[in-house]
Amino acid sequence: MEINDSSLKIERTGAMNPTGKYVPFPVIKLDDRQWPSRQVTKAPVWCSVDLRDGNQAIPVPMTVAKKIEMFKLLVQIGFKEIEVGFPAASPTEFEFVRRLIDEGLIPDDVTIQVLVQAREDLIKRTVESLMGAKRVIIHMYNSTSPSQRKIVFGMEKPQIVELAIQGTKWVKKHAEKLRAQGTEVLFQYSPESFSATEVDFALEVCEAVMDVWKPTPQNKMILNLPDTVEVAMCNVYADQVEWFCRHLAFRDSVIISLHAHNDRGTGVAATEFGILAGADRVEGTLFGNGERTGNTCLVTVALNMYGQGINPELDFSDIDHVREVYEGCTEMEVSPRHPYAGKLVFTAFSGSHQDAIRKGLRSRAFAFNAATSCAVLWDVPYLPIDPEDLGRRYEEVIRVNGQSGKGGIAYLLETECGMRLPKDMLREFGAIAGRKIDALGREVTAPDLKQMFWAEYIERETPYRLLKFQTSNEGGECHCWSKIMLNAEQLDLPGKGNGTIHAFVCSLQKERINVSVLDYSEHTLGKDETAQAICYVQLRIPDGSIRWGAGVDTNSELAPIRAIISALNRE
């Protein structure tokens, strides 16, 4: 048959217009919906599907060795239910399940889950892979949406229901082999593409399956309601879940599970809404790995709860380690902006953000130091949770580039270099460093900033250079004597005053170097007796302008003298 190519051309007039090609997904009639006014108060049952759904969606599937490494990570995090694969799909998948069982890698409190289609040969092979396990979930599915029924399977609704019933009978029959050797068997059924299925038909199929399996409140089964493809806003998915839960017979005999994908970019929101709508359990993957745009990200859902004061019962206290193992096993990269886990999510480059974070951390530190018996609630601008709870360092929070301001510069100098610049001096140095950073065109580190500060304030030796300085106390007065090089001329400067700084300034004034000290502060750069002292001095210099200087010395009496000379050299 010949195809006339001209008939396939699309007429385009102006902007893209989806009218006539796409239609909105029908809303669910649920006028008295309850989920919007509910609040999440506890963690759901979590099930990781990284080793099945996640693994099937990566360019190079994990080897058995990598799957074992990933399984151990999931156990370490605290997952009690882990979908380990589709053992009837390939020898590798089968081998992996057998190794978990034969090598005793499954802790007693962890249940493995396996996926299988509603086909007897696949169900039989799946059961063979599970022999010897302590507790298993057999997860059977078949597609139920109109497009799947029509386009993929060519079946009508009664045939879809019969397929689900027959598959459940096969699982029930072959699972007896497992029960006979002491394995506890849970059954999970998924009406695949639940999100695109008529809710009344999804309910019909699931209740038909329940009639065969016959769950009880003591021996529940799992009904998984997957948002297989996001076809509508996440509030519609919540309505579907609530409608289903409210109309389901024997609700107390069923665990309602969610499995959301991210086609519209709202997989996490759909999951959170689904929990509000009545779900008990959540399936997903670390960092949202999965087909197309991925699954819901369990790291994000769990830590969203954590930030609301709810214990997610999953341990992400070393999020960098979790990310590194995940990236090594999957050869996928976690985005640097991925919530909570990305390398840059707790990093502020903006000057106003840096200033707010620095002040928030300092305020919290003061509050904590003053507290005696109660913890301080977390309340730091731009940081929804404490990075330290995830094993991240505060030093990573503020990073400096050309977009940064004095707040970020001050934070790095203080936290990594021990330098606490006076406010006015910080304003002056911030502008100087900003120009240098902008010229570099890159991010700078705390050592970079310290080097800039040293070059600007500490290392200047012209036109003034201190050669020698001595002090003594006579009659309650401080007497000083200094030797200074001014260009090529050597000056001997005696002076006296009510302190070292006053005496030195007086000695300069005798030489008509008319300076006056406007501000002064000093602190150590370390914690032991050999630590250097750093002094910051603000001077009014001979031309009437105001300059800051800084001096460093192991002798705390000498540091301010060097700071005064530093300011003079910055004329």
Any idea what DSSP says for residue 134?
S
Backbone angles phi, psi at 337, to 5 degrees: -105, 15
Torsion of the alpha carbons at 449, 450, 453 and 454, rounded to the nearest 10: -150
Contact between residue 215 and residue 221 where contact means Cβ atoms under 8 Å apart: yes
Per residue of the chain (571 residues), what is the pLDDT tens digit? 444 555 555 455 557 889 889 999 998 999 899 999 999 999 999 999 999 999 999 999 999 999 999 999 999 999 999 999 999 999 999 999 999 999 999 999 999 999 999 999 999 999 999 999 999 999 999 999 999 999 998 999 999 999 999 999 999 999 999 999 999 999 999 999 999 999 999 999 999 999 999 999 999 999 999 999 999 999 999 999 999 999 999 999 999 999 999 999 999 999 999 999 999 999 999 999 999 999 999 999 999 999 999 999 999 999 999 999 999 999 999 999 999 999 999 988 877 888 888 888 888 877 765 555 556 889 999 999 999 999 998 767 777 877 777 888 888 898 889 999 999 999 999 999 989 988 888 888 899 999 999 999 999 888 999 999 999 988 889 999 999 999 889 999 999 999 999 999 999 998 888 899 999 999 998 777 678 999 999 999 878 889 999 999 999 889 999 999 999 998 7
Contact between residue 285 and residue 83 where contact means Cβ atoms under 8 Å apart: no
Q: What residues contact residue 123 under an 8 Å CB cut-off, 6+ apart?
A: 88, 116, 138, 140, 167, 170, 171, 174
- Residue 13 confidence (pLDDT): 53
- Residue 201 confidence (pLDDT): 97
Could you tell me the sign of the dihedral formed by the alpha carbons of 508, 514, 516, 520, in that order?
Answer: negative
CB neighbours (10 Å) of residue 179?
Answer: 10
**Cβ burial, residue 21 (10 Å; 0-12/13-18/19+):** exposed
- Residue 411 confidence (pLDDT): 84
pLDDT tens by residue, 198-248: 999 999 999 999 999 999 999 999 999 999 999 999 999 999 999 999 999
- Residue 71 confidence (pLDDT): 98
**Domains of the chain: residue spans and CATH:** 41-322 (3.20.20.70), 351-458 (1.10.287.1400), 464-569 (3.30.160.270)
Largest distance between two CA atoms of the chain: 116
CB neighbours (10 Å) of residue 128?
Answer: 16
What are the start-end ranges of the H helices in 223-380?
234-247, 267-276, 298-306, 319-330, 351-370
For residue 503, what are its two tokens?
């005496």
pLDDT tens by residue, 399-442: 787 777 788 888 889 888 999 999 999 999 999 998 998 888 88
- Residue 361 confidence (pLDDT): 86
